[in-house]
Chain A
């Protein structure tokens, strides 16, 4: 029994160009020729970068917008667990907003009445339910919004990036609720950047790339494939923004990663040896140079780690020609995930960087010896027995 059938669906947007680039309309295919089926009771996940077309697929499914070509068949009532607090009005009380938001999300009045107590209990705002929501803290607001949405009872549930709400305890509560609905046999479609949740919650996952469905299969397989893809292509788009000036004294040409045997790798394992190579091209000699590698979060917002020639070793002089600076790590400290890589060349004394290179490569780190906490440090251990009963007092594994 198929609950959701996408049959060669395409969606075109007409984008108005600015007068500077010629004006007029040009076509942009957000979704191109996408076909897939979701069986009754199945949890289907879609992963893809921002702008890959996931949200457009979801919007067509929830009938917010219509396809340009193709056909979508749905065997039942659809509801979307979307951005919470949809339709909340600040002047109304929590109680009034539950009814308002519930009916906007597609619940009947009687249905809301029946579920009201459970919704309030789930949200944990209990005693403030008759207070206008404008007095709520943002946490309470979000929790109440999600509580309403989490009690939708459709045949097919669409879930879009909602798992990132509230504090950790509330997130666990949300995941539990989704699992509960899933066990009850609800057909679900997930869209998320959060690969971990996708892997845990879905039976089947597909990758959306540039509006097309490029792969689908088991969650584990697809999440791994997606991380690989991300490692090679995702950040390429950002790279063009910082093309180097042609007359710079030195340029970073790229960063590559290598294993112990010096063969190039795209993925690495936490805790295992890794070598990062910064390839440079020098036009004019750079005295007292500093070369550095940066490991950013995938979105480039958080710097997780840095390696620098300035903190160890002697003075570095780069002479004209091509070459590479190698940073070797006995045990990679980064936790599993995808990191955007940056590298710079500068003179220690100068304030300006000679070349800044960013985002044309990414490093995908797999669990390996991953530990709990923020990072791994290479470590060894031994047993020390204070009151030895003979034999050796030191034991090593």
Chain B
């Protein structure tokens, strides 16, 4: 017998913020499941593929090559003095992480109906594992970035250490969006249908192809409500220029995430109560 740690009381769902602490405590008890499922995502994704983990590097590299030809050669988009290929890759790396996380996590609940209707575990683990799996790809892609920077002779400075809090912030933001979209997807499958388009649009309203500077100053506050914008801009600051990131865009990114994540979590947990009935 396991140790009888505590009694569980199951009551009708209610929108109580005080429950968040209890939910989080519960989540930590399922740390093993989170780990096993995340490793599973990574394992399964590239199984029976020829290139295997190579895809994690190839995806952003191919995008970079296409962007370099189309946007630099043909459209002559400025790249703030850096080689455009590198300029694009530095943004594509966090962007691919974000887009992959959100795309996979949104379907994570409806694609696992089998589990949802049969077994209980904190449901946020499902979207979260996709974010963790994407984080793994990101780390691989980071290795390729090192190679590219050496090739273009861009020096790596201590400012690169900023990447750690930056990616953490981006992961939290990706998690918030994933929670919200996956929960809504359970009820309205429209999200899944609209998602590829949404991700496209999202890329265009983020400074992936172009620098943040080209956004008119009076549009800036609105533009920066998208945390991805501030974070990508900071990636360029710390990697291409080797300097501390511009703070204002990051404060926007942090503030929006700090508000969105708890809201998304409560909405998600609210949906969880009846998820198995409507999925």
Does chain B have a CB within 8 A of A86? yes
Contacting pair B8 A78 (CB below 8 A): yes
Does chain B have a CB within 8 A of A80? yes
Per a CB cutoff under 8 Å, which of B7, B33, B40, B114 touches A92?
B40
- Bound complex: CA A71 to CA B273 (Å): 14
- Bound complex: CA A104 to CA B122 (Å): 10
Does chain B have a CB within 8 A of A108? yes
Contacting pair A80 B119 (CB below 8 A): yes
**Residues of B127-172 whose CB lies within 8 A of A:** none
Contacting pair A64 B10 (CB below 8 A): no
Q: Name the residue on B nearest A63 (C-beta).
A: B120
Per a CB cutoff under 8 Å, which of A67, A184, A185 touches B10?
A67
Given A65-B277, A67-B11, A100-B36, verify A75-B4 contact (CB < 8 Å): yes
Does chain A have a CB within 8 A of B2? yes
Does chain B have a CB within 8 A of A103? yes
- Bound complex: CA A60 to CA B4 (Å): 20
- Bound complex: CA A83 to CA B5 (Å): 27
> Smallest CB–CB gap between A86 and chain B, Å?
5
A103-123, CB under 8 A of B: which get 1 and which 0? 111111100000000000000
Does chain B have a CB within 8 A of A46? no
Per a CB cutoff under 8 Å, which of A66, A74, A82, A100 touches B13?
A66
Residues of the A chain whose Cβ atoms lie less than 8 Å from the Cβ of B4? 75-77, 155
> Smallest CB–CB gap between B268 and chain A, Å?
14
Contacting pair B2 A103 (CB below 8 A): no
**Residues of A48-79 whose CB lies within 8 A of B:** 59-78
Per a CB cutoff under 8 Å, which of A71, A96, A185, A186 touches B9?
A71
Per the CB 8 Å criterion, the residue count for chain A at the interface is 45
Contacting pair A72 B9 (CB below 8 A): yes
- Bound complex: CA A105 to CA B40 (Å): 15
Contacting pair A64 B12 (CB below 8 A): no
B41-49, B55-63, B196-204: which one contacts chain A? B41-49
- Bound complex: CA A106 to CA B277 (Å): 21
- Bound complex: CA A108 to CA B121 (Å): 13
- Bound complex: CA A105 to CA B118 (Å): 10
Does chain A have a CB within 8 A of B116? yes
Beyond the given pairs A73-B10, A105-B119, A153-B2, 13 more chain A to chain B contacts, judged by CB atoms under 8 angstroms and listed by A's residue number, are A59-B276, A60-B10, A62-B119, A65-B275, A66-B10, A66-B13, A75-B4, A96-B43, A106-B120, A108-B32, A109-B32, A109-B36, A155-B4
